[in-house]
């Protein structure tokens, strides 16, 4: 009687690195997934940008001027604090929105190079849309001003 043949176990994959077949199969990229993530980030950016409007700027009626502890400089300090909060939330909203638009642009460019897209017109349209979106992000940060 022959001993049973030893079975070769598949090589262990590191949990942090997916197998090469999974990376080549396109499982990590999906146009729908990137579009949805981009749209969700843009919606979150819209929500973050309106957060300062929930509380609003300080008003004169917020302060008791008859109190002996009243500081006449406090309304100006609170107004400056509110303005800082507005700037901070606008900055966060801009960063989140740019990330969302960048993901959508990347998804369009990536889908244009996918071999499964059958029509050349769709590939060209996706490539143009993605390129325009990504170039708009790059050009949006440039400020060319001429002062005389």
Can you give the residue ranges of every domain in the chain?
29-55+74-139
Nearest one of 54, 50, 70 to 62, comparing CA atoms: 70
- Reading phi first (left if > 0) and then psi (alpha if -120 to 50, else beta), residue 90 is in alpha
Q: Which residue has the tokens 């708009």?
A: 136
Nearest one of 131, 133, 48 to 94, comparing CA atoms: 48
Residue 80 pLDDT greater than 80, yes or no: yes
pLDDT at 40: 92
Residue 140 pLDDT greater than 80, yes or no: no
Residues 11-54: tens digit of each pLDDT = 555 555 555 555 455 556 677 888 888 889 989 998 998 888 88
Exposure of 39 by Cβ count < 10 A (0-12 exposed, 13-18 middle, 19+ buried)? middle
Q: How far is CA 113 from the centre of its chain?
A: 23
- Reading phi first (left if > 0) and then psi (alpha if -120 to 50, else beta), residue 79 is in alpha
**Averaged pLDDT, 61-74:** 82
């Amino acid at each position: 009687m022959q001993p049973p043949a030893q079975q070769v176990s598949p090589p262990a994959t590191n949990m942090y690195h997916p197998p090469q077949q999974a990376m080549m199969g396109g499982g990590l990229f999906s146009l729908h997934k990137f579009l949805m993530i981009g749209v969700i980030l843009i919606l979150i950016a819209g929500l973050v940008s309106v957060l300062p409007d929930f509380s609003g700027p300080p008003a004169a009626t917020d302060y008791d001027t008859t109190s002996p502890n009243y500081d006449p400089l406090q309304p100006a300090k609170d107004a400056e604090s509110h303005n800082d909060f507005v700037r901070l939330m606008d900055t966060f909203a801009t960063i989140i929105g740019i990330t969302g638009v960048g993901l959508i642009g990347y998804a369009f460019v990536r889908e244009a190079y996918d071999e499964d897209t059958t029509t050349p017109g769709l590939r060209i349209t996706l490539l143009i849309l993605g390129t325009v979106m990504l170039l708009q992000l790059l050009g949006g940060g440039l400020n060319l001003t001429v002062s005389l």
